[in-house]
Amino acid sequence: MKLTDDNEEVTMNGTREVETAEEDISSPCSLVIEAFPVKRSIIVGYALTSKKIKSFLQPKLEGLARNKGILFVAIDQNRPLSEQGPFDIVLHKQIGKEWRRILEEFRLAHPDVTVLDPPDAILHLRNRQSMLQCVADMNLSDSYGRVGVPKQLVIKRDASSIPEAVNKAGLRLPLVAKPLVADGSAKSHELSLAYDQHAVLKLEPPLVLQEFVNHGGVLFKVYIVGEAIRVVRRFSLPDVSRRELSEAAGVFRFPRVSCAAASADDADLDPNIAVNNVLILVAELPPRPLLERLAKELRRGLGLRLFNLDIIREHGTRDRFYVIDINYFPGYGKMPEYEHVFTDFLLSVIQSQCKKRALADQY
């Protein structure tokens, strides 16, 4: 399926405390590769919002990291990046134009430093249309299930064209209306459910109109940190019955249903519900091999290592899944064992840097 962008087509900073060995401070490789005699800390520079610092840079993470030889150092965005550090890894969640330019320049000047992740790749997730294109192109289907994206339509400007565009595209009601731009602002998370296509006229483009897929009120958040995958359950919007759809009209603006307060992992959920003697899966986690394939393809396709995705199982099916949202550098603080997963990941990044350097030295 092609997700197009016109109205008609469907688709869709800080002081450095570096513990250095006296003989050489050039490489942290001894921390990850025994053959290297040089010892110094791994320096991870970070440029994150204060909200992210609070939720992610928890004392437990910093403590564990320190034990593994990793130091987090705040990047001062008011000073030239090259005058800071030196860094081994730069961790950031910023998408401003100026920051992108600074990082790109930095990457060219310091190819040995791993920037997590490349700003251009992150930009892909800033638009709810390009965000899901990779999943749509993948067309993932195997013996464990099928993964797609809900049918969607992009409304760039003219809200008056919506009813006709919805008809033409054959979108089924109800529709989830989402701001096209997903830039992390409060506004970009203001979603609505539209029971009839005329109701959408009240909404402000640019937006994405997405078919609402009944999924039993439970969604799965799949966190990806390099090669590692962790899945959690969250409560989600309840199903919309045919009857409710025939009786309801207008738009219903809904709050952020899938935030931590609504963790469904702590709830006593029966993974299976029997309806007319037919077993219906609601809360059973998606099959691991399917998620592994999906994560692998997304890592490659998006060129990202730090993200999560929201995936739902179509109610009444065992193996029909839809990806509805992908977020860059999500709320890892809510991911089980994130401290271990994240620090191991940082060590693996250094390990591949060291291997590359060792190879380059041979030639």
Ligand X SMILES: O=P(O)(O)O[C@H]1[C@H](OP(=O)(O)O)[C@@H](OP(=O)(O)O)[C@@H](O)[C@@H](O)[C@@H]1OP(=O)(O)O
Ligand Y SMILES: Nc1ncnc2c1ncn2[C@@H]1O[C@H](COP(=O)(O)OP(=O)(O)OP(=O)(O)O)[C@@H](O)[C@H]1O
Any contact of residue 327 with ligand X (CB under 6 A)? yes
Instruction: Report DSSP state, residue 221.
Output: E
- Amino acid in position 170: G
Q: Which does 175 bind (CB under 5 to 8 A by kind): ligand X, Mg ion, ligand Y, none?
A: none
Query: CA angle at residue 154 from 286 to 182, to 5 degrees?
Result: 65
Any contact of residue 131 with ligand Y (CB under 6 A)? no
Is the sign of the CA dihedral 237, 242, 243, 249 positive or negative?
Answer: positive
User: Was 210 annotated as part of a binding site?
Assistant: yes
* Least Å from the CB of residue 362 to ligand Y: 45
Q: Which of 6, 17, 37, 51 binds ligand X (CB under 6 A)?
A: 51
Residues 90 and 360: their CA atoms lie apart, in Å, by 22
Any contact of residue 339 with ligand Y (CB under 6 A)? no
Of residues 77 through 106, those in contact with ligand X by CB under 6 A are 93
Is the sign of the CA dihedral 31, 33, 38, 42 positive or negative?
Answer: negative
Q: Dump the DSSP string for 228-241.
A: EEEEEEEE-PPP--
* Least Å from the CB of residue 93 to ligand X: 6
Instruction: Report DSSP state, residue 95.
Output: -
Of residues 211 through 250, those in contact with ligand X by CB under 6 A are 221
Of residues 175 through 194, those in contact with ligand X by CB under 6 A are 182, 184
Of residues 183 through 242, those in contact with ligand Y by CB under 6 A are 189, 191, 210, 212-213, 215, 219, 236-237
* Least Å from the CB of residue 311 to ligand X: 12
Is the sign of the CA dihedral 85, 89, 94, 99 positive or negative?
Answer: positive
User: Was 282 annotated as part of a binding site?
Assistant: no
Residues 299 and 345: their CA atoms lie apart, in Å, by 14
Find the part of the chain contacting ligand X (CB under 6 A) among 49-57, 63-71, 194-202, 316-324.
49-57
On whether the CB atoms of residues 311 and 138 are closer than 8 A, the answer is no
Instruction: Report DSSP state, residue 138.
Output: H
Q: Which does 113 bind (CB under 5 to 8 A by kind): ligand X, ligand Y, Mg ion, none?
A: none
Q: Which of 157, 202, 256, 300 binds ligand Y (CB under 6 A)?
A: 256
Of residues 291 through 330, those in contact with ligand Y by CB under 6 A are 310, 312, 324-325, 327
Residues 175 and 363: their CA atoms lie apart, in Å, by 58
The site for Mg ion (CB under 5 A) is made up of 310, 325, 327
Q: Which of 28, 150, 216, 286 binds ligand Y (CB under 6 A)?
A: 150
Any contact of residue 318 with ligand X (CB under 6 A)? no
User: Was 73 annotated as part of a binding site?
Assistant: no
On whether the CB atoms of residues 218 and 269 are closer than 8 A, the answer is yes
Q: Which is nearer to Mg ion, 29 or 237 (CB)?
A: 237
Instruction: Report DSSP state, residue 353.
Output: H
Radius of gyration of the chain (CA): 23
* Least Å from the CB of residue 219 to Mg ion: 8
Any contact of residue 176 with ligand Y (CB under 6 A)? yes
Q: Bridge-partner residues for 193, per DSSP?
A: 176, 252
3-state secondary structure of 90: strand
Question: What are the start-end ranges of the H helices in the chain?
Answer: 50-56, 59-67, 97-109, 119-123, 130-138, 162-169, 242-247, 288-302, 338-362
Q: Which is nearer to ligand X, 259 or 279 (CB)?
A: 259
| # residues near ligand Y by CB under 6 A | 21
Residue that the structure tokens 């993932």 belong to: 140
What residue ranges bind ligand Y (CB under 6 A)?
Answer: 150, 176, 178, 182, 189, 191, 210, 212-213, 215, 219, 236-237, 256-258, 310, 312, 324-325, 327
What residue ranges bind ligand X (CB under 6 A)?
Answer: 49, 51-52, 55, 93, 182, 184, 221, 259, 308, 327, 330-331, 333-334
Which amino acids are annotated as binding site for Mg(2+), given as ranges? 310, 325, 327
Which amino acids are annotated as binding site, given as ranges? 52, 93, 128, 178, 189, 210-221, 236, 310, 325, 327, 331
